[in-house]
Structures are given as structure tokens and as C-alpha cells.
Amino acid sequence: MKPIKNNSPVLLLVDGHSLAFRAYYAFAKGREGGLKASDGTPTSICFGFLKSLLLVLEAEKPEAVAIAFDLGLPTFRHDADATYKADRADTPDDFIPDLANLQEILAALNLQVVTAEGYEADDVLGTLATKGKEQGYLTKIVSGDRDLFQLIDDTEQISVLYLDKSVLKGSKTIQEYHVEEVKTTLKISPSQVVDYKALCGDKSDNIPGVKGIGEKTAVKLLEEYGSLHGIYEHLSEIKGATKTKLETGKADAEHSQYLAQIQTDIPLNITLSECKLKGINLAELKPLLAKLELKKFLSQLDYLQQQLGGEAETDEENEDESLAFFTAEETKQQQQSTLKVQPEIIDSSEKLEQLITTLKQYQDKSYPVSWDTETTGLKPRDANLVGIGCCWGKNLTDTAYIPVQHTEGTCLDITEIREALRPILESATYPKTLQNAKFDRLVFRHFGIQLAGVVFDTMLASYVLHPERNHNLSELAAKYLPELTIKSYQELEIAKNETIADLDIKTVAEYCGMDAYVTYQLTLLLAKELEAIPPLDRLLRKIEIPLEPILAEMEYWGIRIDTEYLQTLSNEISKQLEAIESQTYELAGETFNLNSPKQLSHILFEKLNLNRKKSRKTKTGYSTNHAILEKLQGDHPIIDLILSHRTLSKLKSTYVDALPNLVNPETQRIYTDFNQAVTTTGRLSSSNPNLQNIPIRTEFSRQIRRAFLPKKDWLLVAADYSQIELRILTHFSQEPILLDAYQTGKDVHEVTAKLLFEKEEITAEERRLGKTINFGVIYGMGAQRFAREAAVSNQKGKEFIDKYHSRYPQVFAYLERQKKSAIALGYVETIMKRRRYFYFNGTPLEKLKGSDPDSIDLDSLKLGREESETLRAAANAPIQGSSADIIKLAMVKLGELLASYQSRLLLQVHDELVFEIHPEEWEELRPKIKTIMEETVSLKIPLEVEISVGKNWMEAK
């Protein structure tokens, strides 16, 4: 979620029915039709609702909360249209008692439930959001309903926290929607949501829309004319069948607009001050939770009290914290046997010696010992090692915990611990398994131990098997080991300004011991699942696990930064920005705030009278976002100045001014985190800071790379795969013209341009168009997008795409095969058989799963925008994923090469690897690096690597 941008208090508004229904259906298809107490009382809604609510409360820290529900009675919309929501399915029988229990719980939590006769919950939320904005709140609406996107405002005072099933199932990531997120998702602004539904309707609510106007047409019309009013005001400009449909359907459009519009000023008998949090009523809440057997929340009463504005009380009752959310039969089983690890605490030399003797017995790679570390922080370089846990068997007593640096209790001498463990941890003779081994490897490295013998990583195994899922330990335990109760880090209740080192050793031992125990059990289960899919097992063991220590090494060394140069560059950019501002003010005829959309809209569309049809109306004027400004390029010289100003401002704030703050003062280096299990495509990502997005297109952005330096007196080397994705597409598609171009060393963009322009001599501009379309096709670029990026008319863009299609039929045949595979098999595969899964639940494509891919006729399918985007991603996934496979495998082989040199690999950025090379090793390493990268895999065409050297990253590009 986005952090609060200012100190305004937060008003949290919850779409009660939306969250309740999502909680119900998230679990209704699970164990015995949902979650139940031992007497059969349904608890899916209570559990899912409270779990999600707590997650949001923790993240947002609201001052006030209100929960809106429908009354289930006719509203003004039903009065206007008897068919409104008439096709909704009947409410399930077990939904009603579950919701009734939830209402009682909410009352015991002292949370305001708000309803309004004659109106829907959406109207309640709209009115409360408006009141919140007027009273200075940052208002955040929790919902799984996109209809509420219309309430989001340009000032960012009102946003939507969008919930989906992943949150209810345990994910802790909630997407916060402001204006830009809505535009990215729906391709329209929040102010256009109502008019969008007025045009294409909403089947779920029986809102008719204009007959024959679909989602794509609605988006296109709103992009062109801004609003429903604007569309009908310019109806004479619209041609063909669309015009006819709009003329015929005008009454339906206006009626649909009325139904879709959320009211923001309905009468409510409540004030926002009454919604302020005031703590929970424990006397009422505890028996309710006990009756419903919601033991997980019973064990968190202090936490609930704190989150809801009260003060925690000491509870002397000994609750059985592990009993939570089981069916009647499961609850009985759980009551009979509560699993709790019993790690031996190693607090004497004798116990340490005995542990080492025990561990030396385990040398079978099929049953590796699991290890876990506890630290004072999440950055290994800056954290202290607090304790070490391990597990070597399935018994609850097959665990141990070694306290290392606790503030209280008995800890052995650090040197004694290190030297005792070194023969085990630094030897490949003793196989090991970890959850996120890279973190623990770095922790051990800073502790003075070089970890060796890692044969399994549960996080990476989960990632290879299910890249779209969450791979943290608690999520994996919930899926594979539901009989275990895993205590979260949050539940350790570490006091402010303290760390895990300040907790008592027994508490940490049980926490760390359970993590090690779970990791051991998961290793056996995940290994078995991988055995059933040999290609994925090979992917894990040949690429992902060997890559992990390479990434750890890269994170350990970081890269040197020239902070003095960045300060100089910052000053230069500031002067450039001032010059641009002066020129802009001169062209505008007045000074104004370039960062104010409202003021800029006034200058461009009112004072300079630029073409409003190229923009769209918003609450503050006409939109001036990047896409709009690009459309306006060439209409007035002020546009280029504004775009330049925005680019430079972003470069300055995001990189030039930010990077120096991340530099370690002792080493003058920055240390990014390389994320190996995040992207669904298989690509690596980086964070803290994100170096994957260092730009290179403009002169100033290229100059940022000049700040990245090698070790003093060493060389910085960049090795970049040339056109790797296009080469992969050529290999997969076997397109003859492209195969010939790469096999004979021709300029592939020039070849494409010659085919498109049907001539032998082409200009640099024509080659640029060839390059744009070559790379665009990989990402499913259509005619309009190509026209925009190539700066040609839409008609010309369509001609180019059609011609490309006819010249390269094998390319499109391959892309179509991937789409069919995604539908029929549910996944597509990379060159190394990495899978990316695609789901079409609830769509017409769902019934085609399991069919013969060749039997699917894509042209006959009626696809919505979301399905079309998913299929484009499916066509691209094997290309992106294969690129990731190749560069990862190259990194593994380069790691083996560099092990005997001083030189080292520092960064991976997309298709590029960055090294710092000792000068005396450069001539020897240069051909070896190039050969390894080019011969990592064998394709039908050669891979080509461009390798260059310099004193900094800019020189090496």
C-alpha cells in the first residue's frame, strides 16, 4: 500500500457487503464447503472479514472507521428500474447466519455500522467519503468493487484499497488505487467510470448501457471526448455503426448513467466524530469469539484492542492459541493433538558439542538439515545475528536453537559458536535446506562463515512450482502444513525501540525452532511435488539454487557511487530546470506552477487554446498526463518544454538526489537487493534501491550511470545481450526471413524496414520504424500503439502491422500457439521449461481448459479487455521468461569462472551484466565472459553479446 503522504488523519470506510461476500466465497469452496465451528456454525465471513480488516488497520492506522452495509430493501435505483440487480443469484443459506454473527462482532468491536433506507452501501460510502474530505481526512475505502473507483479524486484525499481473494487467503499486499492506478487498470480516469458503465453497461447489476457498445469502444469514445456529455455533444463527428448505436441508445445511456452514479450527499444519522476508534468491548467480544471458535483472534485480544484505539490489558487466561478455523471434525482432532516444537536450547559447551555430533550424522541430500537465523534487522550487512536454529527430522524434538547475541540469558562465546559450526556450515558434505537461503547466507557471511552445501530452498522451490503465488514461510505452511500453527513475527510483540534480541531466549527458540521445523517438512513435500514435474525440478536445481549464492555475492559487494559527481549533476539539472521554466513562462505569457495539473490545464487548453479533443475532462480541468502531452507534441513548442521538465524533475528526485542517501559512508557503495522469487516471468528484480529502472534514453539519464564506479583503479565492464528477445522469438517461431538475417549477420531492423517499405535503400527514420515494430510485436503491440510510438497516423499504423503480419506469418503463428496453450493447458513454457500459469476462471475461456490447443479458434472467441490482455501476456511470457533463463544460466557459469579471479559480477539489469574487473585480468577475462554468455544455450541462431569497458558505467555502455 502507498504510505500516507501527509499528517492528515485517516478515515477508513469499509464496503461491508463486498468484503463479506468475498470472505464467504474465498472459503466456500474449501474444506467441507467453508469454515465452520465444531457445532457446524459457518464462520467463513467472520474469519475472512476480520483477518482482512486487521491487515488494513495495521497498515493504515486510521483515526476513524465506518462500515457500510446494504439493508436488503429496495432503493431509489429499484424504483427507477425494476430489473436493477434482478439477475443476482440468491444469497446462500449459510451466508445469512454468518453475516449476522459478524454484525454482533463488529458491535463488540465498537465499530460503526452505517446503513441508509432507500440507498445502497455505495451511497453511504460516497457520502461519508465526501464528508471525510471536507473535514480534512485522508479517506480510504476498503472494497472489492470497482464501482467505487468513481469516488477517487485528483487530490489523492480519497482512494480505494482494493481487496481480492489473495488478501483473504493470506496475502498481505493490498493494491491502493489513486487516479493513475485506475487509469492503468481500466484505461479510463475515475471521473469517467460512471460514463463508462453508461456506455457498455454492467451485467452484474443489470445496467443496460448502449446496446452494441463494448468495453473497447467505450474506452475509445471516452478517451476521445472525455465524457458521455462530450460524446453526444460531438455525435456528428462519430461515424458509422457506432454513431447509430449511440443515437438509438441515448435514453439507455442516460438511464444507465443515473443507475451507476453513486450518491455523495444522502441523509445519514451519524457524524464522523462518532466513528472514531474507542477500543473494543472485551466482555461482549470474548464470548462471541469463543462461541464461534475463532481462537486465533481470541489469542490476539490485546492486539485487537491496540489496533482499535484501546489500551491492551494483561490477560491471565491460558488460551489454546493453535485452535483456529477448522471444521467440526478437524477441531476435535486439533484439540487432541496440538503440535509445538521443543527445540533444545544450546547454552553450554557440552550441548554444542553434542549438537555437532548429531548434525554430522545427516549427509543424505534427500533429507537435508534445515537452518534458520534470527537477526536484529532485515539488512544482513547492518544486522546482528541473534540466534541460529536447525532441524534434522520429523520429530518435534529434532530441533535446536543456539542463542548468539541475546541481551539477556546465557549465550556461548561467539568465537566458540562460530568455530564449532564452521566445519558443518562451510562443508558441502552436510546438505542444507533453507527458506530464502540468500538472506541467511549473507547473515552467516557477515558472521564470518561461508555457507556451503545448500541443496534446497523452499522459497525458490515454491517459486518454480507456482510463480504467481506468495512464497513466504507462513503462506507455504498454511498451504502444505495446515495442522501447524505458525507464530508470525508480529505476534512476538517486540516493544518499540527493541529487537528480537531483547526477547527471552525460550520465546525466540520456539519461534525460530518452528521456522526450521516447517522448512524441513516443506522441503520433503515440495521435493516430492517437483519430482512429479521433472523439468521444473531441473530448473530449480540447475539454475535457481546455483544462482542464489551468485546473487548473494553481488549483494555483498554492492557497487561504488561517486556522490560528489551526483551533487554536481544535481546542480546542473537544477539550472537546466530553471532555464526550461523561464522559457515555458515566456511562451505561456505568465508564471505558473508547472507541477499543478489544474494550472497547466488552464494554460494549455484555455489560454493557449490547444486541441481539447486530444485530452479528456477531469474535475480540475483537462488532463495533462504524459500520454496527453505526447499527443499534443508538435502543436505548440511549450509541450516539448513541459515534457523535458517532467523528465528532468523525475531523474533528479528519483536518482540524482536519492542515490547519495543510500550510500554506505564506510564503503562508498550502495547495496541493492536482488529478488529471485518475485516476478511471474522468471526475471530478476531489484529493490532498495531499484537499479533495474536506471534510465538511458536521454543525455542526462545516461549521465546518471557515470556515477556508478568500479573499485578504485579497477575497470567497469558491461556485457549486454544484443536483441535477445527478438532472437528468442526468431528461434521459437522459425520465421525464415529472420532466421536468415541473424544467421548471415544482417541488420534485422533494416531487413524489416525494407520489407515494410518495399525498397532496398532505406533511411534512418525508416529503420527506426522497423525497430519499433520488431520489438513491439513481442509485447502484443497493436496498430494504434504502434502509430503513437512511431509518430504515424492510425491508418498508417494499421498498414504497417498488416504488412508485418503478411511478411512474417510464422511469428504470428507462434504467438497464437502460445495463447492457445495458455487457454488449453493453463500455462506456457520457456526454453528451460519454466512455466507461467494463466487463469480464466469465470470467463468463457474456462470451459476450454483441457482441450486440444490446436482445436481452439481464437478468431471465434469473444474476448473482454482483461482476457485479451492476459492472452497478450501469455504470448510474451515464453520470450521474456527464456531471456531470464538464459541470463540466469550465464550468471551461474560466470560465477564458476570468476571463482578463481579477483574480478566480480556486480549488477544484473535486464539483459546486461555489470562487472568490476582487475586491470591485469581484463584481457584474459574479456573473451571468456563473451564466450560463456554467447554459448550458454544453443539456439537456431547465434546469441550476440556486446562487451565494453570504461572507468564508469556510462563509459562502458
- What 8-state DSSP symbol labels residue 2? P
DSSP string, 141-205: EEES-GGGGGG--TTSSEEEEE--HHHHTT----EEE-HHHHHHHHSS-GGGHHHHHHHH-BGGG
Dist. CA 869–CA 771, nearest whole Å: 23
- Tell me which amino acid residue 424 is: I
Q: How far is CA 61 from CA 140, 166, 306, in A?
A: 11, 22, 10
Strands 385-391 and 708-709: unpaired
* Closest to 255 measured CA to CA, from 77, 73, 88, 123: 77
Across-strand partners of 914? 718, 907
C-alpha 889, offset from chain centre: 25
CA distances (Å), 816 to each of 731, 772, 835, 859, 866, in order?
Answer: 16, 21, 17, 10, 17
Q: What's the predicted TM-score (pTM) here?
A: 0.68
**Contacts by residues 408-413 (CB-CB < 8 Å, ≥ 24 positions apart):** 408/502, 408/504, 408/505, 409/347, 409/504, 409/505, 410/347, 410/348, 410/505, 411/347, 412/346, 412/347, 412/348, 412/349, 412/352
Torsion angles phi and psi, residue 262, rounded to 5: -80, 130
- 873 contacts: CB under 8 Å, gap ≥ 6: 780, 838
d(CA 679, CA 467): 7
Peptide bond into 689 cis (omega under 30): yes
- DSSP character string of 598-640: HHHHIIIIIIS---GGGS-EETTEE---HHHHHHHTTT-HHHH
Cα 789 vs. chain centroid, distance in angstroms?
Answer: 26
* Matching residue, cell 528451460: 832
Residues 6+ apart with CB under 8 A from 389: 343, 371, 372, 373, 374, 399, 400, 401, 402, 509, 512, 513, 515, 516
For the domain covering 561-670, report its CATH number: 1.20.1060.10
Q: How many CB atoms lie within 10 A of CB 563?
A: 15
What is the Cα–Cα distance from 295 to 298, expressed in whole angstroms?
5
Q: What is the separation of C-alpha 688 from the centre of its chain, rounded to a whole number of angstroms?
A: 15
Domain ranges of the chain: 10-188, 344-532, 561-670
Distance CA 79, CA 118 (A): 9
Q: Scanning the structure block, which residue is given the C-alpha cell 463488540?
A: 108
CATH code matching the domain that covers 10-188, chosen among 3.20.20.70, 3.40.50.2300, 3.40.50.1010, 3.20.20.120: 3.40.50.1010
DSSP assignment of 884-904, as one string?
Answer: HHHHHHHHHHHHHHHTTSS-E
| CATH number of the structural domain 344-532 | 3.30.420.10
Taking each helix axis from N to C end, the angle separating 794-807 and 809-824, rounded to the nearest 10 degrees, works out to 90
* 255, 210 Cβ separation under 8 angstroms: no
User: Residue 281 burial (CB < 10 Å; 0-12/13-18/19+)?
Assistant: middle
* pLDDT value of position 327: 41
745, 944 in Cβ contact below 8 A? no
8 Å CB contact between 412 and 349:
yes
pLDDT of residue 343: 95
Beta bridge partners of 374: 387
Rounded-to-integer distance, Cα 399 and Cα 780, Å: 52
Which three three-digit cell numbers place residue 296? Answer: 486465533
- Counting Cα atoms < 13 Å in the Cβ hemisphere of 856 gives 23
Contacts of 494 (CB under 8 A, 6+ apart): 500, 502, 503
β-bridge mates for residue 880, sequence order: none
Calpha distance 33→48 (Å, rounded)? 14
Ordered DSSP codes for 803-815 = HHHHH-HHHHHHH
The x, y and z cell numbers of residue 240, run together, are 458509422
Task: From 278, 676, 630, select the one nearest 457 (Cα to Cα).
Answer: 676
Q: In 3-state terms, what secondary structure has residue 390?
A: strand
Of 278, 524, 505, which is closest to residue 388 (Cα–Cα)? 505
pLDDT at 84: 84
Query: What's the average pLDDT block by block, 10 residues per block, for the chain (957 residues)?
Result: 58 92 73 62 87 88 93 83 74 80 91 91 94 91 91 89 67 79 90 93 87 91 91 90 91 90 91 91 86 80 83 45 38 48 95 97 97 94 96 95 96 97 98 98 97 98 90 85 79 87 95 96 97 97 98 97 96 94 94 87 92 80 86 91 90 90 94 93 90 76 91 96 95 96 93 89 89 82 76 81 90 94 95 92 81 91 82 93 97 97 96 97 97 96 96 91
Distance CA 806, CA 798 (A): 12
Listed residue (476, 488, 483, 502) closest to 370, CA to CA: 476
C-alpha distances (whole Å) from 737 to each of 34, 258, 811, 822 are: 57, 56, 10, 27
Beta-carbon-side half-sphere exposure of residue 494 (alpha carbons within 13 Å):
15
Contact between 681 and 837 under an 8 Å Cβ cutoff? The reply is no
Alpha-carbon distances of 255 from 82, 156, 665, rounded to whole Å: 13, 29, 64
| b/e per residue 31-56 (b: at least 16 CB within 10 A) | eeebbbbbeebbbbbbbbbbbbbbbb
**Residues 383/375, Cβ–Cβ less than 8 Å:** yes
φ, ψ at 140 (rounded to 5°):
-125, 125
Rg (CA), the chain: 30
The number of angstroms, rounded, from the C-alpha of 667 to the middle of its chain's C-alpha atoms is: 32
Of the candidates 467, 460, 547, which has an alpha carbon nearest to the alpha carbon of residue 936?
Answer: 547
Residue with cell 441508445: 249
